[in-house]
Amino acid sequence: MNVTILDDYFDTLRTLPSFRKLDGHSVTIWTDHVEDVDARAKQATSAGAKVLRPVEDQFYGDRAGTFQDPFGHVWTITTQEEVGLRGAEAAAAAVKPAIAIAIEGGITGDVFPGRAEETQAKLGAGPGIFLFDSSALPNRKLTQLVKQTAAAKKLPLQTDLVQGYGDDSAELQRSNGGVPTVNLVVPIRYTHAHNGIMNRRDFDQMVDLLVALLQKLDKATVDNIRDFTPQ
**Coil/strand/helix, residue 200:** helix
Closest to 79 (Cα-Cα) out of 33, 29, 41, 30 = 33
Nearest to 3 by CA among 97, 63, 75, 51: 75
The answer to whether the beta carbons of residues 70 and 46 sit under 8 Å apart is no
Spatial CB neighbours of 8, under 8 Å, sequence gap ≥ 6: 207
Q: What is the largest CA-CA distance in the chain?
A: 50
Burial of residue 117 (CB within 10 Å: 0-12, 13-18, 19+) is exposed
* Dihedral of the alpha carbons of 82, 102, 26, 224, in degrees to the nearest 10: -130
Nearest to 186 by CA among 169, 172, 170, 207: 207
Active site residue: 35, 56, 81, 118, which one? Answer: 81
Residue type, 94: A
Catalytic, 81? Answer yes
Gyration radius of the chain over CA positions = 17
Active site residues: 81
